Chain A
Amino acid sequence: MNIFGIKIPMMASLILWAIVWEIVGQLELSILLPPFSHIIIRMFEVIPTATFMNALWITAKCFLIGTAIAIVVGIPIGVLMGRSIVIDRMLLPWVNMFLSAPLTALVPVLMTLFGFGTKTIILTTVLFAIWIIVLDARAGVKNITPSLVEMTKSFQADFWQAFTKVYVWAAMPEILAGIRLGCIRSIKGVIIGQLLVSVVGFGRLFELYSANFLMEHMWALLFVLFFFAFLIAEGLGVLERKFEYYAASRN
């Protein structure tokens, strides 16, 4: 972006908003909005503590396991749906329903089934992430050029070869888009799961801070989470762009 011939970096607007925040915070209009500088100072105070590191570890663990399950289960289901009309007809209504359903309402059910521990949080993460991964893998497989499928058949690939050597790769641009969107939903899932379970990880910290009106701590925590979410989404975006060259050359 250029203003009056001066090149403005992409994130410049964030600095402007931080300044506005600082001014509003210094005016002490609301307890909910402490000055920005205080939050930053609090951030560096909170991060090295054992409770924070412990919460981060639990979150990272649940996020990674949950996302991994969603990917490993979601991609094959999506590929199968894309290749088989029968499986597609059977599963598509469910996938579409869960994709748009208010999944938060299901977390209490998971809690009664799996208790107040990491198991419930992992399952919540899976539940949030898997549907978009399934749908995108399905769309990718449906987009495979018909002649590529014919090629696979005419050289007599068996089912496993066709799946692992052609279909998954041909659908890779969509699969990666699905994984990126799935990860963003995973982050939501892992946080919402913890908030509802509220006795472990960041859920416990949020509970603690909000119950004691520790707004600076609360914001510091949120900033850290936003930062991680942004980092993950951007990192996957870079990976996705690396595969884009062949999405264009597929057809």
Chain B
Amino acid sequence: MSAAAEAVSDNAPQIAVEVDHVTKIYPGGVEALNDMTIQFPRGELTSLLGPSGCGKTTLLKIIAGLLKQTSGTVKVNGVDVTGPGKERAFVFQDFALMPWASVMRNAAFGLELQGMSKSEREAIAEKYIDVVGLKGYENLYPHELSGGMRQRVGLARALAVNAEVLLMDEPFSAVDEQTRRKFQEDILEVVDDEQKTFIFVTHSIEEAVYVSQSIALLLPRPSRVSEIIRPDIRRDISPDAIRRDPVYLDIVERIWQGLRTYVE
């Protein structure tokens, strides 16, 4: 195990998700992941950051059970992952909402599939629609909402099933810049309040540094975890102050220096 990975386990003793020597070769021989080992501490937001082609989305989908690894194991709370499960919930890059269903039904859909009664699941969904800031929009349909609001529905749906691990695949990449900043601030609050483990795929260095307790820097060809960074930036100051904080800016700069050789 690398020194960086050990540093993580020192700071956070409990591990929620363990990825152990996972290799993924797509049909046709494209190697997306090569013998990857990484651990995700419980109750924290860990970003998977890296240039395109480093396998970050593949890794996330393997953890979700949506893709099968070629070899290696993934454990969530010490149990092997063989497919999707109740303890994990996914937030999709393109939201994946049902356009024929209202905000309420979309947010409650995970619970609906579990067979929960309508009144019960709508009470829970209502709470999380409020948490993500969409109170009053329950009866609207996705096409009546902006991109940012749609992703908030996606987040409410994932929170409503009360999974311990939330897997977020570039959740803000299809959202415009201003909305994204507000959303990033809100996600920090959700992480604080919900005590869940978040695994967050992003290609934005600033976003990763801003929202994460730890950042796993992935590099391509062969895909590997090059470094784990804990951006210990102050959280007690305002969001705008954080974005001007020298510590924050230094970490962004350092990651960029590490990545720039991989960008044509």
Contact = CB atoms under 8 A, between A and B. Distances in A.
A245 to B, nearest CB: 6
A249 B85 CA distance: 29
Highest count of chain B CB atoms <10 Å: which of A147, A153, A157, A248: A147
B84 interface: yes
Contact of B96 (A151, A172, A245): A151
A165 interface: yes
Interface string B62-100: 001110000000000000000011101110111110111
A51 interface: no
A155 B109 contact: yes
A172 B86 CA distance: 29
Interface in A137-153: 145, 147-148, 150-151, 153
A249 B94 CA distance: 11
B44 to A, nearest CB: 22
Interface in A22-79: none
B98 A166 contact: yes
A2 interface: no
Contact of B113 (A148, A150, A156): A156
Given A150-B90, A249-B142, A156 B84 contact: yes
Contacts of A154: 64-66, 84, 88-90
B64 A156 contact: no
B113 A155 contact: yes
A41 to B, nearest CB: 49
Given A147-B92, A153-B66, A246-B143, A169 B98 contact: yes
B93 to A, nearest CB: 7
A151 B92 contact: yes
A156 B86 contact: yes
Contact of B84 (A147, A155, A170): A155
A151 to B, nearest CB: 4
A149 to B, nearest CB: 9
B94 A147 contact: yes
Interface in B134-192: 141-143, 157, 161
A161 B115 CA distance: 10
Contacts of B100: 169-170, 172, 246
A154 B88 CA distance: 8
B168 to A, nearest CB: 12
A152 B2 CA distance: 37
A147 to B, nearest CB: 4
Contacts of A151: 90, 92, 96
Contacts of B143: 245-246, 248-249
Contacts of B157: 155
Contacts of B110: 155
B96 A170 contact: no
A245 B98 CA distance: 13
A242 B248 CA distance: 51
A249 B98 CA distance: 10
Nearest to B141: A246
Nearest to A245: B143
A165 B94 contact: no
A148 B113 CA distance: 14
A241 interface: no
Contacts of A156: 84-86, 113-114
Nearest to A149: B96
Interface string B99-119: 110000000011011100000
Nearest to B110: A155
Contacts of A161: 113
Nearest to B143: A249
Given A156-B85, A156-B86, A150 B92 contact: yes
Given A147-B93, A153-B66, A154-B66, A246 B99 contact: yes
Nearest to A152: B113
Interface string A213-251: 000000000000000000000000000000001101110
A248 B112 CA distance: 26
Contacts of A172: 100
A243 B206 CA distance: 41
Contacts of B142: 249
B76 to A, nearest CB: 13
A139 to B, nearest CB: 18
Interface of A: 145, 147-148, 150-151, 153-157, 161, 165-166, 169-170, 172, 245-246, 248-250
Given A151-B90, A169-B98, 15 more contacts: A145-B94, A147-B95, A148-B98, A151-B96, A154-B65, A154-B66, A154-B84, A154-B88, A154-B89, A155-B84, A155-B157, A246-B99, A248-B143, A249-B99, A250-B99
7 contacts: A147-B93, A155-B89, A155-B110, A161-B113, A170-B98, A172-B100, A246-B99
